[in-house]
Structure 1
Amino acid sequence: MPELDLAGALPEPPLDALRARLADRAAEEGLLDVAYRSLDTDVGTLLLAATPAGLVSVTFDGAEPEATLERLAIAISPRVLEAPKRLDAAARRLDDLIAGRARAFDGPLDLALARGFGRSVVERLREIPYGETRSYAQVAAAAGSPRAVRAVGSACRRNPLPIAVPCHRVVRSDGGLGEYVGGVAAKRRLLDVEAAQSPPASAG
């Protein structure tokens, strides 16, 4: 009796479909605490992560996410799983912000990774209007610590949700861009897009 050739008889489900099923099953059983996906954008490949409460992390290491995933596993939960569909809405909102099609991230945010003075800075960053900038000194004053200019710079670098929480709108008092977690080129691009979408200031 000839051997039955099973090659191709039962095609394996696509990997993406398997991942989606696994993510759905994990969520149903309460085993998915952090979902993540990568997103290719005009300012680089981002790694997005979310908890059931909302988007919790945006990093510029989407092409090499290991360090961020390890940090999330330690800081939030080891139940971390790639689940792109669960971040589709957040990805669209971020893409719209980067392209100038939106002026604010209107989805839920989880600020679990912003702690202490950094949490206060993050809250102030969310108040900076689209198309405008504030100096590190102005943010320090708004956060209740006028002398904590360096600490504001550190908090901006550690902002767990860049773009969604606009730390790119914080610049130096002398007009210089200052540093940015995604690089100065990305910061300039984000500010240029916002400037192009904002109406000019009225004269007088």
Structure 2
Amino acid sequence: MTFRHDYVPTPFGDALAVFSDTGVVGFDLSETDDPSVPWLLESFGRRLGVPLRHDPGAADELAHLVADYFEGEPIRFDERIAFDWRLIDGFARAALQTICTIPWGETMSYGEVAMTAGSPGAARAVGTACRLTPFSVIVPVHRVIRSDGSPGQYGSHPERKRFLLDLERETGSGS
């Protein structure tokens, strides 16, 4: 199995896209402005057990989908590209896969995701899955909100969550 990486432009800066032979392993909107920093690449390499090879152009299809998303097209990424879920298992994986089903412009509370994923009462575990997801944006964890209807955090960038929720709300409902 080979693992490669490329970069995808977003309004928040370039995202690191990591691929296996079977699909996207990670899409990281890092806390840094430069996703090519060695520690980020090394972190994915450690988790995968092998170094990543830079493969310019590997993310072209994903980059087009991400651009369409930010133009307001209701993209459901898991229906358009293959995901390789190898870095996530157990309830976290079930929670993230449930989150993929939240329609464009809609939200679910952490508790609702927990219930739908088969573990009522595991709202905190949903929050942890959202915080640790290797799939920023392409698994729409921004659509998971607090039970009181407030958006909550998005890593250390709650303004990004608000931006994504507003983008989807302003561009209308999708499929």
Report the TM-score, using the length of structure 2 for normalisation.
0.88
State which of 57, 63, 78 in structure 2 corresponds to 1:85.
57
- Alignment of 1:139 onto 2:113: yes
1:45 and 1:87 mapped to 2: Cα distance? 12
Structure 2 gap ranges (5+): none
Q: After superposition, where does 1:52-131 map in structure 2 within 5 Å?
A: 52-61=21-30, 63-64=34-35, 65-105=37-77, 106-131=80-105
Q: Which protein has greater RCO, CA pairs closer than 8 Å, 6+ apart?
A: 2
Structure 1 range deviating more: 123-132 or 67-76: 67-76
Q: CA deviation at 1:158?
A: 0.9
Structure 1 range deviating more: 64-73 or 189-198: 64-73
Structure 1 range deviating more: 135-144 or 180-189: 180-189
Matched residues, number: 169
Q: CA deviation at 1:182?
A: 6.4
1:158-183 deviation line (CA, Å, top 9, x unaligned)? 11112111111000111111111361
Q: CA deviation at 1:63?
A: 0.5
Task: Please say which structure displays the higher CA radius of gyration.
Answer: 1
Report the TM-score, using the length of structure 1 for normalisation.
0.76
Runs of 4+ in 1 over 2 A off after TM superposition: 64-68
Q: After superposition, where does 1:1-204 map in structure 2 within 5 Å?
A: 33-61=2-30, 63-64=34-35, 65-105=37-77, 106-181=80-155, 183-199=157-173
Structure 1 gap ranges (5+): 1-29, 200-204
CA contact (8 A) 2:76 2:100 kept: no
